[in-house]
A and B are shown apart, each in its own frame.
Chain A
């Protein structure tokens, strides 16, 4: 098992609501990336945080936003939820050393929007 933990594990929200998902990175890792995995598909990159700054963003609208804290844990916030936001949200932590390094995933938060 990795040291990456996510909360909550499951969540049901109503369309239009807002949600906050949390991720604790593996000890020693300073980089957290968030991915959305729809059923039967590969994970899609949302954004990455490195030392509390956004360090890259995928093709997701601004209602997807995030934070990284001094202890390198991170939050993903989604406003104005839509039905299509229903998915497994995965965070992955890594140590950014200038070379590409392994990313370790958390167990994910399954979000259902009704």
Chain B
């Protein structure tokens, strides 16, 4: 089955800096890669996703890159703000079953 590794597990940045979270996956059949943001006590919310036919996707301050050959994908957040503080999960989907990484706790210090 699919296995998704996520790094780092915690990330602390200063407000205005960039943050990068990296994930690797094992199943070459995976072709959909969403990223979720989960604030304390709340549901995971989709913030951006990318499909295997695209190498990069950007939405305002958030971007995701995908390298299918190396089986890794990354989340980039620029100009971080305190409200970006949360746990971020990457996931991979090979057949309508999401396999999640272990999560990254992002702390943005004002």
- Measured CB to CB, the residues of A under 8 A from B are 2, 31, 33, 35, 40-45, 48, 50, 55-56, 58-59, 90, 92, 94, 96, 100, 102-108
Inter-subunit contact B43/A48 (CB<8 Å): no
Partner-binding segment picked from B62-70, B78-86, B97-105:
B97-105
Chain B: minimal CB distance from A53 (Å): 13
- Range, interface on chain B: 20 to 34
Given contacts A90-B44, A102-B34, A103-B46, A42 and B96 within 8 Å (CB-CB): no
Interface residues in B5-51 by Cβ distance below 8 A to A read 6, 31-32, 34, 36, 42-46, 49, 51
Which 10 residue pairs spanning A and B have beta carbons closest together? Answer: A100-B32, A42-B100, A105-B43, A107-B43, A100-B93, A105-B44, A56-B97, A43-B100, A45-B97, A42-B103
- Measured CB to CB, the residues of B under 8 A from A are 1, 6, 31-32, 34, 36, 42-46, 49, 51, 89, 91, 93, 95-103
Cα A44 to Cα B46 in complex, Å, equals 16
Cα A31 to Cα B91 in complex, Å, equals 18
Inter-subunit contact A103/B103 (CB<8 Å): no
Chain A: minimal CB distance from B73 (Å): 14
Q: Which residue of chain B has its CB nearest to the CB of A6?
A: B43
Chain A: minimal CB distance from B37 (Å): 11
Cα A45 to Cα B97 in complex, Å, equals 7
